[in-house]
Amino acid sequence: DAKTTQPPSMDCAEGRAANLPCNHSTISGNEYVYWYRQIHSQGPQYIIHGLKNNETNEMASLIITEDRKSSTLILPHATLRDTAVYYCIVRVPLGGNQGGKLIFGQGTELSVKP
């Protein structure tokens, strides 16, 4: 699975959009981009995923560049409860000897400030 690079920390004002970038320049054609977040010391929580097209759900939007080498997670109206560490990972569908070794990296620590 391809590796990802994220900034270690970001700040965002409450009520504003939080845009979290992720670089995955070695991504291959069948790898999906997944985003998770971890609040305090809880287990990480799934947010959203995508392959090529932009995706939106009730939590966030995911924008993937046309060349798929980077993506941005958008929290449209950040609240204090969105303060967390956000992880971007890439994953192939499981099959044969692929897709099992999911490496999370350090993530981005997002601080939402009043």
Partner 1 sequence: NAGVTQTPKFQVLKTGQSMTLQCAQDMNHEYMSWYRQDPGMGLRLIHYSVGAGITDQGEVPNGYNVSRSTTEDFPLRLLSAAPSQTSVYFCASSYGVGSYNSPLHFGNGTRLTVT
Residues forming contacts to partner 1 in the complex (CB under 8 A) are 32, 34, 36, 41-46, 49, 51, 85, 87, 91, 93-95, 99-107
Helix/strand/coil for 29: coil
The owner of tokens 């609240």 is: 79
What separation, in Å, do the N-terminal and C-terminal C-alpha atoms of the chain show? Answer: 38
Nearer to partner 1, 3 or 16 (CB): 3
**Nearest distance from C-beta of residue 26 to partner 1, angstroms:** 17
Nearer to partner 1, 17 or 39 (CB): 39
**Nearest distance from C-beta of residue 58 to partner 1, angstroms:** 15
**Nearest distance from C-beta of residue 40 to partner 1, angstroms:** 11
Neighbours of 7 (CB within 10 A): 14
Where does residue 22 rank: exposed (0-12), middle (13-18), buried (19+ CB within 10 A)? Answer: buried
